[in-house]
Amino acid sequence: MGQKIGLIRGDGIGPEVTEATVRVVDALGLGFEWVPLPAGERAVEKYGDVLPQRTIDGILECKVALKGPVTTPIGYGFKSVNVQLRQRLSLFAAIRPVRSLPGIKTRYEDVDIVVVRENTEGLYSGIENEITEGVVTSLKVATRKASERIARAAFAYCCLRRRHKLTVFHKANIMKLSDGLFIDCCRKIHETEFKNDVEYEEMIIDNGCMQLVRDPTRFDVLLLENLYGDVISDLCAAFVGGLGVVPGANIGEECAVFEAVHGSAPDIAGKNKANPLALIRSAVMMVRHLGEVEAYTRLKKAYHGILEEGRPEELTYDLGGTAGTKEFADAIIRRIDG
Ligand X SMILES: NC(=O)c1ccc[n+]([C@@H]2O[C@H](COP(=O)([O-])OP(=O)(O)OC[C@H]3O[C@@H](n4cnc5c(N)ncnc54)[C@H](O)[C@@H]3O)[C@@H](O)[C@H]2O)c1
Residues tagged active-site: 124, 171, 206, 230
CB of residue 268 vs ligand X: minimum separation in angstroms? 5
- Residue number with the shortest CB distance to ligand X? 263
Distances 41 to 81, 151, 264, 273, 312 between C-alpha atoms, Å? 10, 34, 11, 21, 34
Could you say whether residue 324 binds ligand X (CB under 6 A)?
no
- Count of Cβ atoms closer than 10 Å to residue 299 Cβ: 24
Question: For ligand X, what does the binding mask look like between residues 167 and 206, x meaning CB under 6 A?
Answer: ----------------------------------------
- Non-local (6+) Cβ contacts of 116 within 8 A are 93, 94, 95, 96, 150, 153, 154, 157, 221, 222, 223, 224, 229
Nearer to ligand X, 178 or 250 (CB): 250
Contacts 24+ apart (CB under 8 A), 137-144: 140/175, 140/178, 141/178, 142/177, 142/178, 142/179, 142/181, 142/182, 142/225, 143/181, 144/181, 144/185
Coil/strand/helix, residue 41: helix
Q: Which is nearer to ligand X, 42 or 152 (CB)?
A: 42
Residues 53 to 72 in contact with ligand X, rule: CB under 6 A: 69-72
What is the nearest approach in angstroms of ligand X to the Cβ of residue 79?
11
3 exposed, middle or buried (CB, 10 Å; 0-12, 13-18, 19+)?
Answer: middle
Region from 159-167, 185-193, 194-202, 255-263 binding ligand X, contact rule CB under 6 A? 255-263
The 269-308 site mask, x for binding ligand X (CB under 6 A), equals -----xx--x------------------------------
Least Å distance between CB 99 and ligand X?
A: 17
Q: How far is the CB of 257 from ligand X (least distance, A)?
A: 10
Q: Which of residues 129-158 bind ligand X (CB under 6 A)?
A: none
Task: List the one residue from 18, 55, 82, 147 that touches ligand X (CB under 6 A).
Answer: 82
Q: Which residues contact 215 (CB under 8 A, 6 or more apart)?
A: none
Member of 262, 302, 323, 329 binding ligand X (CB under 6 A): 262
Q: How many residues bind ligand X (CB under 6 A)?
A: 21
Choose among 115, 337, 72, 75: nearest CA to 248.
115
Site residues (vs ligand X, CB under 6 A) = 13, 17, 69-72, 82, 243-244, 259, 262-268, 274-275, 278, 318
